[in-house]
Amino acid sequence: MMAPTSALSDATPTVFVVDDDEFVREALETMIQVAGWHACTFASAASFLACPPATGASCLVLDVNLPGLSGLDLQTALADDRGDMPIIFVTGFGDIPMSVRAMKAGAVEFLTKPFSEQVMLDAIRAALDRSRAAVGDQAALQELRDRYADLSPRERQVMAGVVSGRMNKQVGGDLGITEITVKKHRGRVMEKMRARSLAELVTMSASLGISAPVKG
Distance from C-alpha of 121 to C-alpha of 16, rounded to nearest angstrom: 13
Calculate the dihedral angle through the C-alpha atoms of 179, 181, 183, 184, rounding to the nearest 10 degrees: 170
pLDDT value, residue 53 = 85
- Judge if 125 and 165 occupy the same domain: no
Residue 135 reports pLDDT greater than 90: no
pLDDT over 60 (residue 82): yes
CATH label of the domain that carries residue 182: 1.10.10.10
CA-based radius of gyration for the chain? 24
Residue 156 belongs to some domain of the structure? yes
Residue 123 located in a structural domain:
yes
In the structure, what pLDDT confidence band is assigned to residue 42 with cuts at 50, 70 and 90? very high
Residue 174 belongs to what domain range? 147-208
| Cβ neighbours around 43 below 10 Å, total | 17
172 CB neighbour count, 10 Å cutoff: 20
Q: How confident is residue 139, by pLDDT bands cut at 50, 70 and 90?
A: confident
pLDDT at 212: 53
In a domain, 101, yes or no: yes
Q: Where is the domain boundary, 134, 160, 185?
A: 134
Cα(28)–Cα(43) distance, integer angstroms: 13
pLDDT at 1: 43
Is residue 142 a part of any domain in this protein?
no
Q: pLDDT averaged over the chain?
A: 87
Could you tell me if 119 and 163 lie in one domain? no
Same domain, 126 and 157: no
Q: Is residue 25 part of a domain?
A: yes
- Same domain, yes or no: 129 and 162: no
Q: Which of 105, 134, 163 is the last residue of a domain?
A: 134
Sign of CA dihedral 34, 37, 40, 45: negative
Let me know whether 17 and 121 are in one domain: yes
Q: How far apart are the first and last CA of the chain?
A: 58
Domain final position from 134, 164, 196: 134
Contacts of 89 (CB under 8 A, 6+ apart): 62, 63, 64, 71, 99, 102, 107, 109, 110, 111
- CATH number where 63 lies: 3.40.50.2300
Q: How many domains does the chain have?
A: 2
Name the strand (E) or helix (H) holding 42.
strand 38-42
* Of 109 and 28, the one with more pLDDT: 28
pLDDT at position 55, please? 82
What's the CA gap between 150 and 145, in Å, rounded?
Answer: 9
Confidence of residue 138 (pLDDT cuts 50, 70, 90): confident
pLDDT digits (tens, 9 = 90+) for 181-214: 999 999 999 999 999 999 999 999 998 987 654 4
Same domain, 177 and 110: no
Please say if the pLDDT value at position 7 is more than 50.
no
Question: Do 122 and 199 share a domain, yes or no?
Answer: no
